[in-house]
Structure 1
Amino acid sequence: MSGIVDRISSAMRRVPTWGVYILYLLPVPWLLYLAQTDGLGREPIKALEHELGEIALQLLIVGLCITPLRQYLGLNLIKFRRTFGVLAFTYVAMHLLVWVVLDMSLLWGQMWADIWKRPYITIGMAGFLALLPLAITSNNWSVRKMGAAAWRKLHKLTYVAVLLGGIHYLWLVKGIQLEPIVYMIVILGLLGLRYKRLLK
């Protein structure tokens, strides 16, 4: 088992991060094409929002998996952690942009009212704000400027952001649906592993 994990880790070290960026951004033009050709159903804007937001949540969860994979399986994907974080923020930003421009048509007064009155939008906006400083400081210059300890402490906001993202998805859907519940269970499980490690 360890031999297989070592080979996978070795192979992944040879994968360039720009390749991961390209791979994970490929769905964007495809989703835009589907939205313009009735490929996303009767409400293409809502569907586009949903797809972008779900990919963002998946990327946050993948980023959260990297440390446990190294600790429990010995699989080293650390070089991609920042990549997944930046990609997650990119998808969250696109998710927000679709809501602001296409869904709400830049009606700022109505948007602010919805942010304050609709809990799932409030939570979603809080998640975006939690990711914003992480995206800004996801570079080597920020690590040097802040110091490694302070930078790591700031980037623990990732845990807050992914939890808020899970709650946002859970509250967004109507009724009880399995998919957002599964996402939330996975998120809580991964956060629980980190809490368990802190207690040791």
Structure 2
Amino acid sequence: MAKRAVLRSFGRHWLKPLTFWLLALPGLWLGWQWAMLLNGQPHALGFNPIETTHRFLGDTALRVLLISLAVTPFRDITRWLPVMKVRRRIGLAAFWYALLHVAAYLGLDLLIAANMSVAGMFAGLWEDVAKRIYITLGMAAFVGLIPLAVTSFNAMVRWLGARRWQQLHWAIYPVAILAVLHHGFMEKGNQPMPWIHGGILALLLGYRLVRSARNRSRPSPAAS
């Protein structure tokens, strides 16, 4: 009983702020590294800080997205219901890191590194989307995240209704697939991380398929 009371207290008072700071840590670390770089101090951004920043933000967005998909299986396995309070918060963090990833691509890669004008930046974006499959997949995943982020607030849930809101947020599954493919096509050679991310996503989606099949096979209360 004491253990349950501690878990309830943690879920009520500490889970949301702790989740916020854990999700913010990658961004805070990156900002600190850039502060040290600009001040001429040793940093961890390597010889190409722009590419490191771009990749770090993309990797973080993908991993946070996978964590958001892991919340429901974690709830089912542990029976700890308070974790569902932070699922949308984690999903929103994935969107913000994806937005920063796109902003770094546009602002650092195209606008600054390639010395393009604003018009040239968007022209370069369109050209990359048309010619590079990994950018096509990545932009498709980002565009798919936008309506999910916009509707991740309680007011939008009430406005849409629970059923339509849930149907809309099923789009997170193809978005996650696109994001994993984006990472896989972006890497050169046979790198391990795209396979690891793909394996994690396959497990998370497979879990949901098995759970859905089991729920359909159960007799309804009316039938029993």
Please give the TM-score of this superposition, normalised by the length of structure 2.
0.82
**Equivalence map 1:114-193=2 (5 Å):** 114-193=128-207
| Shift in Å, 1:111 | 1.2
The size of the alignment, in residue pairs, is 199
- Of 182-191 and 20-29, deviating more is 20-29
Give the corresponding residue for 1:95. 101
AA matched with 1:45: I
| Shift in Å, 1:13 | 3.5
Runs of 4+ in 1 over 3 A off after TM superposition: 3-10
| Shift in Å, 1:75 | 3.0
**Equivalence map 1:12-23=2 (5 Å):** 12-23=11-22
Q: Give, in whole Å, the separation in 2 of the partners of 1:69 and 1:26.
A: 22
| Shift in Å, 1:43 | 1.3
Q: Give, in whole Å, the separation in 1 of the partners of 2:143 and 2:198.
A: 20
Question: Which digits, 9 at most, give the CA deviation of each residue in 1:110-129, with x for residues without a partner?
Answer: 11010111000000001001
RMSD: 2.1
Contact 2:26 2:60 in 1 (8 A): no
Q: 2:69 aligns with which of 60, 64, 77?
A: 64
- Of 71-80 and 143-152, deviating more is 71-80
Contact 1:123 1:165 in 2 (8 A): yes
| Shift in Å, 1:81 | 0.3
Give the corresponding residue for 2:87. 81
Contact 1:59 1:88 in 2 (8 A): yes
Q: Give, in whole Å, the separation in 2 of the partners of 1:6 and 1:56.
A: 34
AA matched with 1:169: H
AA matched with 1:51: F
AA matched with 2:52: A
Give the corresponding residue for 1:113. 127
Please give the TM-score of this superposition, normalised by the length of structure 1.
0.91
AA matched with 2:50: I
Quick one: structure 1 residues 159 and 49, their matched pair in 2 at CA, closer, same or farther if it must change by over 3 Å?
Answer: same
Q: Which has the larger radius of gyration?
A: 2
Q: Give, in whole Å, the separation in 1 of the partners of 2:192 and 2:155.
A: 42
Give the corresponding residue for 2:26. 27
| Shift in Å, 1:164 | 1.1
| Shift in Å, 1:6 | 8.2
| Shift in Å, 1:102 | 0.8
Q: Give, in whole Å, the separation in 2 of the partners of 1:172 and 1:29.
A: 25
AA matched with 2:70: C
Q: Mind listing any 5+ residue stretches in structure 2 that lack a counterpart?
A: 38-42, 112-117, 215-224
Q: 1:51 aligns with which of 53, 56, 60?
A: 56
Is structure 2 residue 110 aligned with structure 1 residue 104? yes
SS in 2 for 1:42: coil
Q: Give, in whole Å, the separation in 1 of the partners of 2:191 and 2:160.
A: 42
SS in 1 for 2:124: helix
AA matched with 2:154: N
Q: Percent identity at matched positions? A: 34
- Of 40-49 and 8-17, deviating more is 8-17
Q: Give, in whole Å, the separation in 2 of the partners of 1:56 and 1:5.
A: 33
| Shift in Å, 1:17 | 2.2
| Shift in Å, 1:190 | 0.3
Contact 1:62 1:84 in 2 (8 A): yes
